[in-house]
Structure 1
Amino acid sequence: MKKVTKLVGTYPRGFMVWMTPLVPIINLCHPDIAKSVLSASAAVALKDVFVYSFLKPWLGDGLLVSAGEKWSRHRRMLTPAFHFNILKPYVKIFNDSTNIMHAKWQRLISEGNIRLNLFEHVSLMTLDSLQKCVFSFDSNCQEKPSEYIATILELSALVSRRNQQPLLHMDLLYHLTPDGMRFRKACNIVHEFTDAVIRERRHTLPSQGLDDFLKDKAKSKTLDFIDVLLLTKDEDGKELSDEDIRAEADTFMFEGHDTTASGLSWILYNLARHPEYQERCRQEVQELLRDREPEEIEWDDLARLPFLTMCIKESLRLHPPVTAISRCCSQDIPLSDGRIIPKGVICIISIFGIHHNPSVWLDPEVLTILPPILLSGPRNCIGQTFAMSEMKVVLALTLLRFRVLPDDKEPRRKPELILRSEDGLWLRVEPLSVGTK
């Protein structure tokens, strides 16, 4: 325990320590210290079972929950699914889903509703996009109720609520509660949907042959996430099992919608509070799309929005969608200054704390648009290019068509599974006239 007490220090040094009856917990708030933990081998920095186990009945052994060799194998096998050749056609889907959301906004504004809950609208839009990218399925969930989409949202809320109630961390007790029973039922609904898609695709693949299948896909529609998972093989020529494919597809649906929706909502909030940055982003988009019909962001455009990209990254620093991750050390982890994080300690890596640490940032609470500091490491998000591409498309089209203004009531940050705002994130939205464009 002496090694634990030596870690106590001031916030800028990166440590805050507290104890539970069973195990010490360390909150890491500096990138150098966090890197030491995250760079350790999977056998040293295991994912903390108390946090991730709540998701396992839903997400199985997908990338978010798995660790060790299984995580490494799946990470290698899934990397081709995020190659730019696969992602490039998704930009069309992002445009279409954004257009549907904007049509809703125009209708609501015409009815006198200028205050919009951005979290609600953007979450449905990202779920709409993901269903098309993962399953090639159009539920029209932005316009009408969808049982599958409603179930995804319910599962996220149930896991978040359970995480905040320590007495319900015990599986035996939780499964007896109404929330526990709803959680099991919701998992079954999501799994049945994903299993049905996998079965249908498994049936299709052998009858066509892989080469013909890929050619047909290229002509008819986007190669979706399920297709790629079914076609991928490891270095020994082994495929993913149906259970593995379901786990990764369900993980992508969960991780891909909430995090992107949170990031987009807070970006619009920050630009509403900084109209000078908002206008500069808008001018950049207007110049890019000058005399272009229809108004649509293309793949090659994504690299031509440097100021908008900097605004996105700085907003992600101020309001990171995932505020913390955790690891449980199965061995001592040495730090560069000679101190040691002992075996058995749970490390909470505070992404929010790192992003607001005054020893790292000059003005940590101020939106400062400068070329971002790169802090990524060996376990960076596999879907980061997908997410960044979607955020650029949605933000560019939104600023082209609307002006966002702060609401009278300042939102209060609410960290759950992702960073939300209490009672939603409300902004005033004004359509731009044709002449303004």
Structure 2
Amino acid sequence: MSTVVLLLAGLPLAFALWWLFKDLIVRSPLDNIPGPPPQSWLSGHLPRIFHRHEGWKLHDELSENYGGVSRIIGALGVKYPFFIDVTTHSVASRFQKRVLYVYDPLALHSIVIKDQAHYEEAPYINTINTLMFGPGLTTLPDEPHRRLRKMLTPVFTISHMRHMTPIFYQVAHRLRGGIGKQVSQSSGDVDVLNWVSRTALELVGQGGMGYSFDPLVEDAKNVFGDSIKGILPAMFALASYLFMTPYIVKIGSASFRRWVLDNLVPSSKVQRLKNLIDVLDSESKDLLAKKRKALEDGDEAVKQQIGEGKDIMSVLLRANINATGVDQLSEEELLAQMRGLIFAATDTTSSALAQTLQLLSEYPEVQEKLRQEVIHASGGDIETDIAYDELVDLPYLDAVCRETLRLYPPATDIPRHSVKDMVLPLSTPIRGVDGTYMNELAIPKDTRLIISIRGCNRNKGIWGDDAYEWKPERWLSPLPNTVTDARVPGVYSNMMTFLGGSRSCIGFKFSQLEMKVVLSVLLKNFRFSPSGKKIVWNLGPAKYPTVGRESTHAELPMKVELLKA
């Protein structure tokens, strides 16, 4: 009798152990995909691939030593929850023993275009984005996403970019004035990252919402802008707990959860993130109400706003008024677009501008050649702005921007997961662990994938042996056949920097124009040189520079010289 009782008592334990460790015992088709051995059985590769310094080495090791698809090992515990999907009950999604690292062009085409409906963002990421920003472009399912993107597309046309150009120049000239004043009053280094970060926020503020965050003078404060800049650091302070979000949102009503958050959660980190999101919510509601009232009051009221009603949100509001039925956006959807636009456009643009200026400081001959091009396009007058059509066609400026975004994309990778069993085609066969060559891969449901933007952009099989070199000149002559024949599914210049397909970055032309306007104004007025301090770029959602490896303070000091008129 006692034996039967023990057996019955042990069955739940045995089942639980099987449920937990089945993924370690039962073989998967992914096991035949090659990849580097993990340093730790418990945490796999995740501590390295997301480490702000060591991550670069693993990304490059995967790109250089393995094929277009390789296998890395995920974590068994919850310390590194980046790929844990707690909304399902599969062992694979809870413990993520196997994660695929992908940069093969044909595989990427399947993931981001042909079969993109079957490769989605991780549910916990969507939940967090929805909680913070609302039902925006990045979180909506396919059909609502398609309708919203269709409504937003006219805002990012070339015709509308022409209207944006004077607004961008106004901001760039304020930046010039701010830097010029600092240079004239101090002989020390200039923190270029601080200035371009503030400028990126102001550009999306004026061009995106008809709102000014920052006059671009020293020590300017704006509660709205400060909340936006503070959200990402506050999120990363809580990274080890954010994976629980899909569970938390199922507990009681929204008002009950808010009461618990206000009264029963003493964590200063949690309260800081909550307060930042509260500011973002209240300020965006206030701004949207003002913009709607201006539209109701007529053309004269609209013209009194920053940008005279040509900003993205004003255009979107007018389009929404004319929309009917399911095509019309709700109040919360309009607010979500506003919040998401600001948040997504700030860190990526500032990272790209900072990286470009650093490279120009390290390659003075490139900087001088580019300076002469923009001065010549201005008719020799540094005060003259270059018209949109001529600015976007300046060959060397375009080459510098393209090469920087190829070699140093602001976002290194993008996560996806398969929502059903799939077959992933390969443009180049990979050799399996068992020695066989594979032209396609069986991808089980709930497999996590890392789309490697960096790996694809630096693929030597596509770009040649000099793929790791920063060479703007490569864009001044026809690209090699290997580039065009690869059919990389990116929306921009045979690269994955802005992704591809229906989920590509809708604002990439907006971002390109921002970069070119700012660079054209700065280079006509300043010469940039290295500070002599060791600059280290840190891996993150948008990479950022620090002085040395130990510092966590994002900055990019440079020597800046004011040029004589």
TM-score (norm 2): 0.70
In structure 1, stretches of 5+ residues that fail to align are: none
Query: 1:246-325 alignment to 2 at 5 Å?
Result: 246-292=335-381, 294-325=383-414
1:387 aligns with 2:511: yes
Is the contact made by 2:545 and 2:556 (CA closer than 8 Å) also made in structure 1?
A: yes
CA–CA distance in structure 2, aligned partners of residues 162 and 387 of structure 1: 29
Choose the corresponding residue for 1:111, options 185, 209, 214: 185
Instruction: Identify if the C-alpha distance between structure 1 residues 110 and 345 changes in structure 2 by more than 3 Å, giving closer, same or farther.
Output: same
Instruction: Identify if the C-alpha distance between structure 1 residues 213 and 326 changes in structure 2 by more than 3 Å, giving closer, same or farther.
Output: farther
1:140 aligns with 2:140: no
Instruction: Identify if the C-alpha distance between structure 1 residues 343 and 235 changes in structure 2 by more than 3 Å, giving closer, same or farther.
Output: farther
User: Which structure is richer in relative contact order (CA contacts within 8 A, separation 6 or more)?
Assistant: 1
Is the contact made by 1:47 and 1:67 (CA closer than 8 Å) also made in structure 2?
A: no
Task: Report the more deviating stretch, 130-139 or 199-208.
Answer: 199-208
Q: In the alignment, which residue of structure 2 is the partner of 1:359?
A: 461
Is the contact made by 2:108 and 2:451 (CA closer than 8 Å) also made in structure 1?
A: yes
CA–CA distance in structure 1, aligned partners of residues 111 and 513 of structure 2: 29
Instruction: Identify if the C-alpha distance between structure 1 residues 266 and 141 changes in structure 2 by more than 3 Å, giving closer, same or farther.
Output: same
Query: 1:287-436 alignment to 2 at 5 Å?
Result: 287-292=376-381, 294-336=383-425, 337-362=439-464, 363-369=466-472, 370-371=474-475, 374-375=494-495, 377-378=500-501, 379-422=503-546, 423=553, 424-434=555-565
1:152 aligns with 2:228: yes
Give secondary structure in 1 for the equivalent of 2:544: strand
Instruction: Identify if the C-alpha distance between structure 1 residues 259 and 33 changes in structure 2 by more than 3 Å, giving closer, same or farther.
Output: same
CA–CA distance in structure 1, aligned partners of residues 305 and 339 of structure 2: 24
Q: In the alignment, which residue of structure 2 is the partner of 1:240?
A: 329
Q: In the alignment, which residue of structure 2 is the partner of 1:229?
A: 316
Q: How far off is 1:8 after superposition?
A: 2.5
Q: How far off is 1:152 after superposition?
A: 0.6
Q: How far off is 1:29 after superposition?
A: 3.1
Q: How far off is 1:403 after superposition?
A: 1.1
CA–CA distance in structure 2, aligned partners of residues 64 and 426 of structure 1: 34
* Alignment-mate amino acid for residue 149 of structure 1: G
Is the contact made by 2:211 and 2:306 (CA closer than 8 Å) also made in structure 1?
A: no
Is the contact made by 1:31 and 1:354 (CA closer than 8 Å) also made in structure 2?
A: yes
Say which one has the larger Rg: 2
Number of equivalences: 429
Give secondary structure in 1 for the equivalent of 2:34: coil
Query: 1:92-107 alignment to 2 at 5 Å?
Result: 92-107=166-181
CA–CA distance in structure 2, aligned partners of residues 27 and 260 of structure 1: 25
* Alignment-mate amino acid for residue 399 of structure 2: M
Q: In the alignment, which residue of structure 1 is the partner of 2:7?
A: none
Q: How far off is 1:73 after superposition?
A: 1.9
**What do the CA deviations read for 1:213-244 (whole angstroms, capped 9, x no partner)?**
89968998242222122122568673211111
Is the contact made by 1:55 and 1:159 (CA closer than 8 Å) also made in structure 2?
A: no
Is the contact made by 2:418 and 2:445 (CA closer than 8 Å) also made in structure 1?
A: yes
Identity of aligned residues (%): 24
Q: How far off is 1:302 after superposition?
A: 2.0
Q: In the alignment, which residue of structure 1 is the partner of 2:70?
A: 15
Instruction: Identify if the C-alpha distance between structure 1 residues 238 and 272 changes in structure 2 by more than 3 Å, giving closer, same or farther.
Output: same
Instruction: Identify if the C-alpha distance between structure 1 residues 348 and 91 changes in structure 2 by more than 3 Å, giving closer, same or farther.
Output: same
CA–CA distance in structure 2, aligned partners of residues 15 and 219 of structure 1: 49
CA–CA distance in structure 2, aligned partners of residues 136 and 40 of structure 1: 37
CA–CA distance in structure 2, aligned partners of residues 220 and 386 of structure 1: 15
Q: How far off is 1:340 after superposition?
A: 2.1
Instruction: Identify if the C-alpha distance between structure 1 residues 282 and 129 changes in structure 2 by more than 3 Å, giving closer, same or farther.
Output: same
Instruction: Identify if the C-alpha distance between structure 1 residues 86 and 3 changes in structure 2 by more than 3 Å, giving closer, same or farther.
Output: same
1:161 aligns with 2:161: no
CA–CA distance in structure 1, aligned partners of residues 418 and 271 of structure 2: 33
**What do the CA deviations read for 1:150-187 (whole angstroms, capped 9, x no partner)?**
11111122123333xx2453245996322221111111
CA–CA distance in structure 1, aligned partners of residues 135 and 385 of structure 2: 37
Deviating beyond 4 angstroms after TM superposition, the runs of 4 or more aligned structure 1 residues are 172-175, 212-220, 233-237
1:3 aligns with 2:29: yes
